[in-house]
Amino acid sequence: MLFLQLVLLVVLLPGGDSEDAFQEPISFQIILTISFYNHSWTQNLGSAWLDELQTHGWDNKTGALIFLWPWSRGNWNTEQLMKVEKLLYTYSIGFRQVFQDHVRHWQLEYPFQVQLAEGCKLHTGEASVGFVRIAYQGADLMSFQNMTWWPSPKGGSRAHHVCKLFNQYHVTNEEIHTLFTDSCPQFLLSLLDAGKEDIQRQERPEAWLSTGPSPGPGRLLLVCHVSGFHPKPVWVMWMREQPHSMGLVFLAVIVPLVLLAGLALWLWKRWKTHWRPQCTGFPLE
């Protein structure tokens, strides 16, 4: 007996209708990952995202933004963009240096990674929300809210030590607050307007099946792939007949055929009987 283990793989592509975008929260965020290999060797990787769509890259040597779409500048001019680039680059250098200077105090062990996610989120009828979050080795370390850094409950004593130091940078914290509560929402709105043709486009999903590694003897793994659709989300459902359903389908097809054949045979016999020549009584010579 063959058992089917059905597995669904949905590939969500970014985007969304700008008119409907505010029906669900939409966010713009900058993600910076710093890899610390030793006391003198670090590597930065930066990018910016509109929800799940990458809109910008980042040159880690010059701090310049890389515009991945024709509309990635929004409606901002060169001066505004350069100002933001300079701020972000300055923050990245200072951010990296602070962690390098406190490796022993914060009990950091090489190699390690620190992730910084900063941006803003919009929703219909609500005020925009700016956010800045820092993670260490992929786990939440602390977040920035209302001009204050707050330790993550899972960050332990390290999170408290880092927050204590970061809360002393009053001027920097004011700049961060202004950048992500005022400037970021304005830039997000300009992106939605400038990129509405790409954001509002609609593409039908394409689906196909493939077989995966067998989960066991007598079992078949089917994988459903769905891609090419826009905007998100998309609803995909498996439809499977029950084990006895094939018998029902067989009966549903065969029984009507048998009845039709029986009816045809009865009509044929009736027609034959009706048209059979009838003998009449003629006198014989």
Question: pLDDT of the chain along its 285 residues, tens only?
Answer: 333 444 444 444 444 444 444 456 899 999 999 999 999 999 999 999 998 889 999 998 898 999 999 999 999 999 999 999 999 999 999 999 999 999 999 999 999 999 999 999 998 777 889 999 999 999 999 999 989 999 999 999 999 999 999 999 999 999 999 999 999 999 999 999 999 888 777 788 888 888 888 888 888 888 888 887 776 667 787 776 765 566 666 667 777 777 878 887 877 777 767 655 554 444 544
What residues does each domain of the chain span? Answer: 26-200
168: nearest Cα among 85, 86, 83, 102: 102
Task: Tell me the fold of 26-200.
Answer: 3.30.500
Bond into 283 cis (ω within 30): no
- How many angstroms separate the Cα of 180 from the Cα of each of 29, 173, 218? 9, 11, 56
Do 122 and 26 touch, CB atoms closer than 8 A?
Answer: yes
**Confidence (pLDDT) at 43:** 94
Please say whether the beta carbons of 236 and 10 come within 8 A.
yes
Closest CA to 168 of 220, 94, 236: 94
Give CA–CA dist 285/267, Å, rounded. Answer: 40
Cβ-proximal residues to 89 (8 Å cutoff; 6+ apart), any chain: 62, 63
| Residue-level pLDDT at 235 | 77
Contact 52, 72 (CB under 8 A): no
- Torsion from C-alpha of 98, 99, 103, 105, nearest 10 degrees: 60
> Is residue 27 within 8 Å of residue 51, measured between CB atoms?
yes
Q: Measure the CA–CA gap between 44 and 96, rounded to whole angstroms.
A: 9
Q: What whole-number distance in Å separates Cα of residue 132 and Cα of residue 104? A: 25
Q: Long-range contacts for 139-147 (Cβ within 8 Å, ≥24 apart)?
A: 141/114, 142/166, 144/173, 144/176, 144/177, 147/173, 147/174, 147/177
